[in-house]
Structure 1
Amino acid sequence: MNIVLLSDFSSASTHMLEYAAMLFKNQKVNFTILHIKAPCKGESCSGKCGVVFSQNLKKDQNLLIKKGYHTNQLQTKFIEGAYIESIRSVITEDQIDLIMLGNSNKGAYSTGLFFDKKTLEIITKVKCSVVLVPEEATIDLPRTALLPTDFSITSDYSIFNILTSLPFVNQTHLSLLPTGLNKTLGPNRKHSKELISKVINSLEFKSVKEIYSTNKASCINGFDLVMVLAKNLSIFQDLFSSSIDSLCRPEVPILFLHDSRKL
């Protein structure tokens, strides 16, 4: 499994690295620790920033070595270029299966969500599943997971393929949380619900059950992991709004699921 660890050398990024080290311990994984910045303007930099960032990436690499990872499992990359386009290039060139990045809940972001514009663009515009690790998340294997869904998927279920590669799935109890219950579940969504349930039950979770809650988002911190279909923006607003009416401030890792078909 090939995993990109997006680092900006903040405390949130360091926490994400520690979470990744725990999550994939003793697994066959390859990590690419990646830092991207906009190109320097003019000649004032003279390449100095590349040296500094390469040194910081080396520190990140050493953190994972101390956690038991071998150097042949680790590579670092520093790219000066457009942010999303650079990530897409790495995803394609290195055949990346998963992106991980840290998140701080301390700021107020223009997105109206609990993460900034760059993070939102990674989640919605890059064709790869993403694990977002809040700085408050505990460093423990997930034992309980929540999947809010309105059963709106109608055709392709490869969006769940990444779950077959995650080592904790067969030790995790999954709860399905239906959303949009104020709407009639029409024939298409009813059929979709049956198919999603069939797919989920084939993934070897320790158990799967359906739960109901009027405060759908307020319960997410009662789980160790939340899974969200990355293209379902209505659920984004329910779960991750930073407005005063928001039901919850996420403090657990969030797995944003993307269709895993190759481009």
Structure 2
Amino acid sequence: MLKALADLERHMLLDPSVGGAKGIPDLVTQVNRLLHNNDPRWAQMPDDPQYVGGLLFTYMMSNPIPGALKEFVDTDERIANLVFYYKDHQGETIRRAIHSAKQWIADNEGRVEGLSIRLAGGTIGVIAAQNEAAFETNLWVLPLVFLLIFLFVTFFYSSLMAGVMMFGAMLFATTLTYGYMGLAAMGINSNTVPIIAVGVGIGIDYSIYMMDRIRAEMVAARTSPLRCAAPSTPRAWPSASPPSP
């Protein structure tokens, strides 16, 4: 089990964005090294499980405070904590970290009996969970928003053409938005989804303002008594000569 965790740690450390890691494999190897005169050759994982238990007991008993192993394992020694420290929290770093971890889990989790890897919290984990939820939700929310816009506009204006015009305008603007995000390598995450939603909301508001203004002008044109018609008979315009005395 510990060798599998050590292999996971080595796999994750291949990412240049990882600055370091902390877990029980590091603790066991370092205690093993210290008990052999700090010889670097002993910084390795022992093959004997009882020897590993002895190393953990030695570390726990030599610690001045109780609960020295709580940051590495639980009290029943059934759950181990493996922490990775990243240099930044950018979207590409988060996606690469989650992909790397899931790749190792898919390839190695079933090879060790009883081993189960779960992606926990931390800044990277929380942001990754938010991004995944935002991406999955966005696949459903945006089409439903467009459908509701089309239905409500068609109903309130009693015009299928008005609904089509609104839907077409918003679809065109949103397509350009996602196209630019793809060219700029911007992912759909908890930061970009609210901006897209605000853009759709403001866009449909101004579209409704313009549509309502167009309808008001059309109604005014049909009901206004003023008409711009050409005169039926020519008029006699006054002469430019001065009047007679």
TM-score computed with the length of structure 1 as normaliser: 0.25
> Going by fraction, where is helix more abundant, 1 or 2?
2
Larger RCO, structure (CA 8 Å, separation 6 or more): 1
